[in-house]
Amino acid sequence: MSSLNLDDFTDLIERPDGGVRRDAEAHRERRIVPPGALGRLDDLGEWLAAAQSAVPVRPIEHPRAVLFAGDHGVAALDVSARPAGGAGRLVRAVLEGASPASVLARGFGVPVRVVDMSLEADPGGLPDEVVRHRVRSGSGRIDVEDAMTLEEAEAAFRAGMAVADEEADSGTDLVVLGDISVGGTTAAAVLVAALCGTDASVVTGRGGQPIDDLAWMRKCAAVRDALRRARPVLGDQLQLLATVGGADLAATTGFLLQSAVRKMPVILDGVVSAACALVGQRVAFRAPDWWLAGQRSGEPAQAKALDRMSLEPLLDQGVTVGEGAGALLALPLVRAAARLAAELPEAPAPEPEEVPADAAEPDVELGSDSGSDSEV
Residues involved in catalysis: 323
Neighbours of 135 (CB within 10 A): 25
Which residues touch 178 (CB under 8 Å, ≥6 apart)? 65, 66, 67, 68, 101, 269, 270, 272, 273, 322, 323, 324, 325, 327
Closest CA to 154 of 50, 235, 238, 67: 238
Cis bond upstream, residue 56 (ω within 30): yes
367: alpha, beta or left, given left = phi > 0 and alpha = psi -120 to 50? left
DSSP structural state of residue 326: H
User: How far from 276 is each of 114, 179, 305, CA to CA, in Å?
Assistant: 17, 11, 9
State the greatest distance between any 2 C-alpha atoms of the chain, in Å, as a whole number: 125
Q: Are 101 and 65 in contact (CB under 8 A)?
A: yes
